[in-house]
Amino acid sequence: MTTATLEDHLAAQGVDAAGLYSRGARVQRRAAAATDHLKEPTEFVPVRVEAAAAAASAPRGPLCRITHGNGHVLEFAEWPEASWLAALMSAMAGQAR
């Protein structure tokens, strides 16, 4: 059995290991920066999950879609309650920089 290092494997594929390591370091820095804004506790917005209605009556696509800057997506088959939606928007606005 022969043991090869990652550098040996990449060299055999014609790839420079330094480029891979620098990309990994950039990803780690971005991940650390993304969690910086989470240091203060945020207010929890309660969510209720219900079973889906009959498939025949459900619309083909979401009626309402909310996308957060961090990439989180909430999709709704019907309009959420106005008070819940207002609380969500207020919480999201409080996290904006």
pLDDT of the chain, 97 residues: tens digit per residue? 678 888 888 888 888 888 878 888 888 888 877 766 666 666 788 888 888 766 555 557 788 888 877 788 888 888 888 898 888 888 877 765 4
- Render 57-83 in DSSP notation, one character per residue: GS-SS-SEEEE-TTS-EEEESSPPPHH
26-47 pLDDT, tens digit each: 888 888 777 666 666 667 888 8
Question: What distance in Å separates the CA atoms of residue 17 and residue 35, rounded to the nearest whole number?
Answer: 28
Is the pTM of the predicted complex or chain greater than 0.75? no
E-assigned strands of the chain? 64-67, 73-76
The pLDDT value recorded for residue 55 is 58
Domain boundaries, the chain: 1-39, 41-97
Compute CA distances 63 → 39, 66, 96, whole Å: 34, 10, 25
Compute CA distances 77 → 12, 50, 64, 82, 89, whole Å: 51, 12, 7, 15, 18
